[in-house]
A = this chain, B = another copy of it.
């Protein structure tokens, strides 16, 4: 029997899951980002520390995500738009889930590509029509996966990834966001 290796340490993940089951406060995480305005609608968000496992944690190094608007909106197009960044987060969250679940099920992945599309009617954000929402009216994610498994097994891995995806939940279910001036 061949052993799948997708680069996911499922044994360590099982131990982490057990530890967080035994000690529920360790499972309470707070994720953070700090966004600096760079002029126009261009900004840079930096991610560095987070809280979890009952302690302050830090990434190996700070990571940044830039955002801007494109030329069709008379902007400088120095980066992806915030909504494209959301689509990227959704695709990456589902892809990470596919890799972890495939490993858990002993399925060797060869390649995974997720294509995401989101439809938006700008009459929402431009305040032209109060009946049009600001965000996406529909999002479609299509996976193209090459793996040592049947199409049915691969579809089941994708379905399980969706079921456990943080970003899928954030987008599909209502969230509680408070915005304030410090």
Contact = CB atoms under 8 A, between A and B. Distances in A.
Contact of A32 (B115, B145, B154, B182): B115
A67 B88 contact: yes
Contacts of A77: 59-60
A133 interface: yes
Interface in A92-106: 92-96, 98-100
20 contacts: A7-B40, A16-B74, A17-B128, A20-B123, A29-B119, A29-B121, A29-B122, A31-B83, A35-B113, A37-B98, A37-B99, A37-B109, A45-B88, A47-B87, A50-B70, A69-B96, A120-B166, A138-B176, A151-B181, A172-B177
Interface of A: 6-9, 12-13, 16-17, 20-21, 24, 27-37, 39-43, 45, 47, 50, 52-53, 57, 59-60, 63, 65-77, 79-96, 98-100, 109, 111-128, 133-145, 151, 154-155, 158-159, 162, 164-182
